[in-house]
Copies of this chain bind each other. A is one copy, B any other.
Amino acid sequence: MAKTVEQIATALNISITTVRLVLNNQAQQYRISSKTQARINEYVAEHGYTVNHAARSLKLNKTETLGLIIPRLSNVFFATLAEKLEIRCREAGYQLMISCTYSDLKYENKLVEALIARNVDGLFVVPSSLQSQKHHVKRSTKPLVLLDRDFGSPDVSLVVSDNRRGSAALTEAMFDAGKIPLFFMAGDIGQPTIKERMSGYEAVLAARGITDTRQWILEAAHNRREDGEMLMRTFLANHHAAPPAFIASSLPVLEGALSVLRTHFGFIPAEINIGTFDEHPMLGFLSNNIWSVRQDEDAWVEMAFHAMQQALQGGGESQRAIIPMTLLYRQRAGQNRDQIILGSI
Protein backbone atom coordinates (compact mmCIF):
# COMPACT_ATOMS: atom_id res chain seq x y z
CA MET A 1 0.00 0.00 0.00
CA ALA A 2 1.34 3.35 -1.02
CA LYS A 3 1.85 5.61 1.95
CA THR A 4 -0.16 8.62 2.92
CA VAL A 5 1.32 12.03 3.38
CA GLU A 6 1.02 11.69 7.11
CA GLN A 7 2.77 8.35 7.15
CA ILE A 8 5.65 9.80 5.23
CA ALA A 9 5.81 12.78 7.53
CA THR A 10 5.90 10.77 10.73
CA ALA A 11 8.28 8.22 9.30
CA LEU A 12 10.67 10.98 8.43
CA ASN A 13 9.88 13.10 11.42
CA ILE A 14 8.94 16.12 9.38
CA SER A 15 5.72 18.01 9.25
CA ILE A 16 2.92 17.11 6.92
CA THR A 17 3.10 20.48 5.28
CA THR A 18 6.70 20.06 4.33
CA VAL A 19 6.04 16.71 2.76
CA ARG A 20 3.08 18.04 0.89
CA LEU A 21 5.08 20.90 -0.46
CA VAL A 22 7.69 18.77 -2.07
CA LEU A 23 5.14 16.24 -3.25
CA ASN A 24 3.34 19.04 -5.05
CA ASN A 25 6.52 20.42 -6.54
CA GLN A 26 6.32 23.56 -4.50
CA ALA A 27 9.61 22.86 -2.85
CA GLN A 28 11.41 25.58 -4.76
CA GLN A 29 8.82 28.12 -4.00
CA TYR A 30 8.92 27.52 -0.30
CA ARG A 31 12.62 26.91 -0.29
CA ILE A 32 12.56 23.58 1.42
CA SER A 33 16.07 22.52 2.30
CA SER A 34 17.44 20.28 -0.36
CA LYS A 35 18.40 17.60 2.10
CA THR A 36 14.84 17.43 3.33
CA GLN A 37 13.69 17.15 -0.24
CA ALA A 38 16.16 14.41 -0.86
CA ARG A 39 14.99 12.44 2.13
CA ILE A 40 11.41 12.71 1.05
CA ASN A 41 12.09 11.81 -2.54
CA GLU A 42 14.09 8.85 -1.44
CA TYR A 43 11.36 7.62 0.81
CA VAL A 44 8.81 8.01 -1.94
CA ALA A 45 10.98 6.22 -4.45
CA GLU A 46 11.20 3.40 -1.98
CA HIS A 47 7.64 3.13 -0.76
CA GLY A 48 5.65 4.96 -3.37
CA TYR A 49 2.98 7.55 -2.98
CA THR A 50 -0.32 8.02 -4.73
CA VAL A 51 -2.67 10.81 -3.81
CA ASN A 52 -5.97 9.68 -2.52
CA HIS A 53 -8.46 11.29 -4.82
CA ALA A 54 -11.34 10.45 -2.56
CA ALA A 55 -9.93 12.57 0.20
CA ARG A 56 -8.89 15.26 -2.18
CA SER A 57 -12.28 15.34 -3.79
CA LEU A 58 -14.03 15.42 -0.48
CA LYS A 59 -12.14 18.49 0.48
CA LEU A 60 -12.17 20.29 -2.83
CA ASN A 61 -15.53 19.12 -3.98
CA LYS A 62 -14.30 18.21 -7.41
CA THR A 63 -12.90 15.06 -8.91
CA GLU A 64 -11.31 15.97 -12.21
CA THR A 65 -13.63 13.34 -13.60
CA LEU A 66 -16.33 13.77 -16.20
CA GLY A 67 -19.05 11.31 -17.05
CA LEU A 68 -20.25 10.16 -20.45
CA ILE A 69 -23.49 8.33 -20.84
CA ILE A 70 -24.21 6.72 -24.19
CA PRO A 71 -26.58 4.05 -25.42
CA ARG A 72 -24.03 1.37 -26.11
CA LEU A 73 -20.41 0.81 -26.88
CA SER A 74 -21.11 -1.92 -29.39
CA ASN A 75 -22.53 0.79 -31.59
CA VAL A 76 -19.36 1.76 -33.39
CA PHE A 77 -20.45 5.31 -33.75
CA PHE A 78 -20.68 5.79 -30.03
CA ALA A 79 -17.50 3.84 -29.44
CA THR A 80 -15.66 6.21 -31.73
CA LEU A 81 -17.25 9.19 -30.10
CA ALA A 82 -16.36 7.92 -26.66
CA GLU A 83 -12.79 7.43 -27.71
CA LYS A 84 -12.44 10.91 -29.09
CA LEU A 85 -14.10 12.52 -26.14
CA GLU A 86 -11.91 10.56 -23.79
CA ILE A 87 -8.84 11.83 -25.55
CA ARG A 88 -10.02 15.39 -25.34
CA CYS A 89 -10.85 15.13 -21.67
CA ARG A 90 -7.53 13.57 -20.94
CA GLU A 91 -5.73 16.43 -22.63
CA ALA A 92 -7.43 18.74 -20.22
CA GLY A 93 -6.57 16.59 -17.25
CA TYR A 94 -9.93 14.95 -16.81
CA GLN A 95 -10.72 11.29 -16.52
CA LEU A 96 -13.79 10.25 -18.42
CA MET A 97 -16.19 7.70 -16.97
CA ILE A 98 -18.06 5.97 -19.75
CA SER A 99 -21.33 4.21 -19.11
CA CYS A 100 -24.06 2.70 -21.24
CA THR A 101 -27.79 2.86 -20.83
CA TYR A 102 -28.79 0.18 -23.34
CA SER A 103 -31.60 2.55 -24.10
CA ASP A 104 -33.19 1.78 -20.79
CA LEU A 105 -34.63 4.98 -19.45
CA LYS A 106 -34.76 3.78 -15.89
CA TYR A 107 -31.20 2.78 -16.10
CA GLU A 108 -30.25 6.09 -17.56
CA ASN A 109 -31.60 7.81 -14.52
CA LYS A 110 -29.82 5.48 -12.19
CA LEU A 111 -26.62 6.06 -14.05
CA VAL A 112 -26.88 9.79 -13.82
CA GLU A 113 -27.41 9.45 -10.11
CA ALA A 114 -24.54 7.03 -9.78
CA LEU A 115 -22.16 9.33 -11.58
CA ILE A 116 -23.27 12.36 -9.64
CA ALA A 117 -22.90 10.41 -6.43
CA ARG A 118 -19.38 9.65 -7.55
CA ASN A 119 -18.95 13.35 -7.74
CA VAL A 120 -18.16 13.76 -11.42
CA ASP A 121 -17.57 17.40 -12.21
CA GLY A 122 -19.86 17.30 -15.21
CA LEU A 123 -21.84 15.04 -17.43
CA PHE A 124 -22.10 14.41 -21.15
CA VAL A 125 -25.17 12.46 -22.05
CA VAL A 126 -26.85 11.07 -25.11
CA PRO A 127 -30.39 11.22 -23.77
CA SER A 128 -33.00 8.56 -24.36
CA SER A 129 -35.95 10.79 -23.91
CA LEU A 130 -37.10 14.28 -23.22
CA GLN A 131 -37.55 14.48 -19.50
CA SER A 132 -34.95 11.99 -18.56
CA GLN A 133 -32.37 13.05 -16.07
CA LYS A 134 -32.74 16.76 -16.23
CA HIS A 135 -34.07 17.14 -12.75
CA HIS A 136 -31.31 15.07 -11.24
CA VAL A 137 -28.75 17.18 -12.84
CA LYS A 138 -30.46 20.45 -12.14
CA ARG A 139 -30.71 19.55 -8.52
CA SER A 140 -27.09 18.65 -8.39
CA THR A 141 -25.95 21.81 -10.15
CA LYS A 142 -23.50 19.77 -12.18
CA PRO A 143 -22.83 20.97 -15.71
CA LEU A 144 -24.66 18.96 -18.33
CA VAL A 145 -23.96 18.72 -22.03
CA LEU A 146 -26.43 16.85 -24.17
CA LEU A 147 -25.23 15.05 -27.28
CA ASP A 148 -26.67 13.67 -30.49
CA ARG A 149 -30.34 14.08 -29.78
CA ASP A 150 -32.28 17.27 -29.58
CA PHE A 151 -35.44 16.71 -27.61
CA GLY A 152 -35.89 20.42 -27.44
CA SER A 153 -35.15 21.07 -23.80
CA PRO A 154 -34.15 24.68 -23.44
CA ASP A 155 -31.34 25.99 -21.28
CA VAL A 156 -29.13 23.00 -21.75
CA SER A 157 -26.00 22.83 -23.79
CA LEU A 158 -26.39 20.63 -26.79
CA VAL A 159 -24.32 19.30 -29.65
CA VAL A 160 -25.95 17.59 -32.61
CA SER A 161 -25.30 17.04 -36.28
CA ASP A 162 -27.26 18.78 -38.94
CA ASN A 163 -29.10 15.60 -39.72
CA ARG A 164 -31.72 17.15 -41.90
CA ARG A 165 -29.32 18.73 -44.32
CA GLY A 166 -27.04 15.73 -44.23
CA SER A 167 -29.88 13.45 -45.08
CA ALA A 168 -31.05 15.76 -47.83
CA ALA A 169 -27.61 15.81 -49.40
CA LEU A 170 -27.46 12.04 -49.24
CA THR A 171 -30.86 11.62 -50.79
CA GLU A 172 -30.12 14.10 -53.54
CA ALA A 173 -26.88 12.43 -54.43
CA MET A 174 -28.42 9.01 -54.71
CA PHE A 175 -31.50 10.28 -56.45
CA ASP A 176 -29.48 12.25 -58.96
CA ALA A 177 -27.38 9.21 -59.66
CA GLY A 178 -30.59 7.62 -60.80
CA LYS A 179 -30.98 5.24 -57.94
CA ILE A 180 -34.72 4.74 -57.88
CA PRO A 181 -36.74 3.53 -56.13
CA LEU A 182 -34.83 4.70 -53.12
CA PHE A 183 -36.07 3.06 -49.97
CA PHE A 184 -35.54 4.39 -46.48
CA MET A 185 -35.16 1.98 -43.63
CA ALA A 186 -35.83 3.87 -40.46
CA GLY A 187 -35.28 2.87 -36.88
CA ASP A 188 -37.18 4.58 -34.12
CA ILE A 189 -38.64 7.68 -35.72
CA GLY A 190 -39.61 9.01 -32.34
CA GLN A 191 -35.96 9.71 -31.88
CA PRO A 192 -35.10 13.25 -33.02
CA THR A 193 -32.04 12.25 -34.99
CA ILE A 194 -33.93 9.71 -37.02
CA LYS A 195 -36.86 12.00 -37.43
CA GLU A 196 -34.63 14.67 -38.89
CA ARG A 197 -32.98 12.25 -41.24
CA MET A 198 -36.29 11.05 -42.46
CA SER A 199 -37.62 14.52 -42.99
CA GLY A 200 -34.53 15.45 -44.98
CA TYR A 201 -35.19 12.45 -47.18
CA GLU A 202 -38.85 13.27 -47.62
CA ALA A 203 -38.17 16.89 -48.40
CA VAL A 204 -35.89 16.02 -51.28
CA LEU A 205 -38.29 13.49 -52.68
CA ALA A 206 -41.11 15.97 -52.47
CA ALA A 207 -39.00 18.57 -54.26
CA ARG A 208 -38.42 16.00 -56.97
CA GLY A 209 -42.12 15.56 -57.40
CA ILE A 210 -42.36 12.26 -55.65
CA THR A 211 -45.24 12.69 -53.34
CA ASP A 212 -46.32 9.23 -52.40
CA THR A 213 -43.30 8.11 -50.48
CA ARG A 214 -45.28 5.83 -48.23
CA GLN A 215 -44.27 2.63 -49.83
CA TRP A 216 -40.63 3.61 -49.90
CA ILE A 217 -40.40 4.16 -46.20
CA LEU A 218 -40.00 1.24 -43.87
CA GLU A 219 -40.16 1.79 -40.16
CA ALA A 220 -39.06 -0.13 -37.13
CA ALA A 221 -39.52 0.50 -33.45
CA HIS A 222 -35.90 0.90 -32.44
CA ASN A 223 -32.46 1.57 -33.82
CA ARG A 224 -30.94 -1.77 -33.16
CA ARG A 225 -29.41 -4.37 -35.36
CA GLU A 226 -32.45 -6.57 -34.85
CA ASP A 227 -34.66 -3.86 -36.20
CA GLY A 228 -32.63 -3.61 -39.36
CA GLU A 229 -32.87 -7.35 -39.74
CA MET A 230 -36.58 -7.26 -39.36
CA LEU A 231 -36.95 -4.48 -41.91
CA MET A 232 -34.96 -6.27 -44.56
CA ARG A 233 -36.63 -9.57 -43.86
CA THR A 234 -39.99 -7.97 -44.33
CA PHE A 235 -38.81 -6.33 -47.50
CA LEU A 236 -37.64 -9.61 -48.96
CA ALA A 237 -40.86 -11.29 -48.02
CA ASN A 238 -42.89 -8.59 -49.72
CA HIS A 239 -40.85 -8.01 -52.84
CA HIS A 240 -39.13 -11.33 -53.34
CA ALA A 241 -36.03 -9.36 -54.22
CA ALA A 242 -33.56 -6.96 -52.73
CA PRO A 243 -34.03 -3.22 -52.99
CA PRO A 244 -32.00 -1.59 -55.78
CA ALA A 245 -31.18 1.29 -53.50
CA PHE A 246 -31.85 2.10 -49.90
CA ILE A 247 -30.83 4.35 -47.09
CA ALA A 248 -30.38 3.08 -43.58
CA SER A 249 -31.18 5.53 -40.85
CA SER A 250 -28.26 4.47 -38.73
CA LEU A 251 -25.40 2.04 -38.61
CA PRO A 252 -27.04 -0.63 -36.47
CA VAL A 253 -30.01 -0.71 -38.81
CA LEU A 254 -27.67 -1.09 -41.75
CA GLU A 255 -25.79 -3.88 -40.05
CA GLY A 256 -29.00 -5.76 -39.47
CA ALA A 257 -30.32 -5.20 -42.96
CA LEU A 258 -27.12 -6.34 -44.60
CA SER A 259 -26.78 -9.40 -42.42
CA VAL A 260 -30.13 -10.55 -43.68
CA LEU A 261 -29.06 -10.03 -47.28
CA ARG A 262 -25.85 -11.87 -46.62
CA THR A 263 -27.73 -14.83 -45.23
CA HIS A 264 -30.41 -14.77 -47.87
CA PHE A 265 -28.23 -14.53 -50.95
CA GLY A 266 -24.96 -15.83 -49.63
CA PHE A 267 -23.35 -12.49 -50.40
CA ILE A 268 -24.28 -8.83 -50.58
CA PRO A 269 -25.50 -8.21 -54.11
CA ALA A 270 -23.09 -5.68 -55.52
CA GLU A 271 -25.71 -3.87 -57.53
CA ILE A 272 -27.49 -2.60 -54.48
CA ASN A 273 -26.84 1.06 -53.88
CA ILE A 274 -26.44 1.80 -50.23
CA GLY A 275 -26.84 5.01 -48.35
CA THR A 276 -26.16 5.28 -44.66
CA PHE A 277 -25.36 7.53 -41.78
CA ASP A 278 -22.44 7.28 -39.43
CA GLU A 279 -19.45 6.74 -41.65
CA HIS A 280 -17.17 4.01 -40.43
CA PRO A 281 -14.05 2.44 -41.92
CA MET A 282 -15.67 -0.98 -42.04
CA LEU A 283 -18.13 0.28 -44.58
CA GLY A 284 -15.25 -0.22 -46.97
CA PHE A 285 -15.82 -3.94 -46.55
CA LEU A 286 -18.76 -3.52 -48.86
CA SER A 287 -18.16 -3.74 -52.57
CA ASN A 288 -21.22 -1.73 -53.42
CA ASN A 289 -21.69 1.84 -54.39
CA ILE A 290 -22.01 3.42 -51.02
CA TRP A 291 -22.86 6.89 -49.89
CA SER A 292 -22.29 7.61 -46.26
CA VAL A 293 -22.88 10.70 -44.24
CA ARG A 294 -20.16 11.37 -41.78
CA GLN A 295 -20.81 13.03 -38.48
CA ASP A 296 -17.90 15.20 -37.60
CA GLU A 297 -17.06 13.71 -34.25
CA ASP A 298 -14.01 15.87 -33.86
CA ALA A 299 -16.12 18.97 -34.11
CA TRP A 300 -18.66 17.47 -31.74
CA VAL A 301 -16.00 16.77 -29.19
CA GLU A 302 -14.55 20.22 -29.52
CA MET A 303 -17.88 21.92 -29.07
CA ALA A 304 -19.04 19.63 -26.33
CA PHE A 305 -15.88 19.99 -24.36
CA HIS A 306 -15.85 23.69 -24.80
CA ALA A 307 -19.39 23.97 -23.53
CA MET A 308 -18.41 21.82 -20.59
CA GLN A 309 -15.47 24.00 -19.76
CA GLN A 310 -17.58 27.10 -19.90
CA ALA A 311 -20.04 25.56 -17.54
CA LEU A 312 -17.32 24.34 -15.23
CA GLN A 313 -15.95 27.83 -15.00
CA GLY A 314 -19.38 29.06 -14.10
CA GLY A 315 -20.10 30.53 -17.51
CA GLY A 316 -23.84 30.98 -17.54
CA GLU A 317 -25.00 30.64 -21.10
CA SER A 318 -25.89 27.21 -22.38
CA GLN A 319 -24.63 26.54 -25.86
CA ARG A 320 -26.23 24.87 -28.81
CA ALA A 321 -24.14 23.60 -31.67
CA ILE A 322 -25.40 22.11 -34.90
CA ILE A 323 -22.55 20.51 -36.75
CA PRO A 324 -22.57 20.12 -40.53
CA MET A 325 -22.26 16.62 -41.94
CA THR A 326 -20.16 15.46 -44.84
CA LEU A 327 -21.20 13.17 -47.63
CA LEU A 328 -18.77 10.48 -48.66
CA TYR A 329 -19.01 8.34 -51.73
CA ARG A 330 -17.30 5.05 -52.36
CA GLN A 331 -17.82 4.09 -55.92
CA ARG A 332 -17.77 0.53 -57.05
CA ALA A 333 -15.46 0.14 -60.02
CA GLY A 334 -16.11 -2.01 -63.06
CA GLN A 335 -15.08 -5.62 -62.60
CA ASN A 336 -13.24 -6.14 -65.85
CA ARG A 337 -9.66 -5.72 -64.84
CA ASP A 338 -7.07 -8.22 -65.87
CA GLN A 339 -5.58 -10.49 -63.33
CA ILE A 340 -7.09 -9.38 -60.11
CA ILE A 341 -6.17 -12.37 -58.10
CA LEU A 342 -2.77 -13.91 -57.75
CA GLY A 343 -2.41 -17.40 -59.14
CA SER A 344 -5.18 -19.94 -59.43
CA ILE A 345 -7.54 -20.90 -56.71
Contact = CB atoms under 8 A, between A and B. Distances in A.
A73 B63 contact: no
A123 interface: no
Nearest to A271: B341
A163 B57 CA distance: 43
A337 B265 contact: yes
Contacts of A259: 281, 284
Interface string A30-67: 00000000000000000110111111011000010100
Given A285-B285, A333-B265, A53 B1 contact: no
B332 A119 contact: no
Contacts of A344: 244
A220 interface: no
Contacts of A80: 73-74
Nearest to A239: B342
Given A225-B281, A267-B333, A97 B97 contact: yes
A330 interface: yes
Contact of A86 (B99, B118, B340, B342): B99
Contacts of A141: 1
5 contacts: A55-B58, A74-B83, A79-B79, A181-B343, A262-B287
A100 interface: yes
A331 B288 CA distance: 18
Contact of A332 (B76, B98, B267, B282): B267
A50 B1 contact: no
A241 B95 contact: no
A261 to B, nearest CB: 9
A262 B116 contact: no
B265 A340 contact: yes
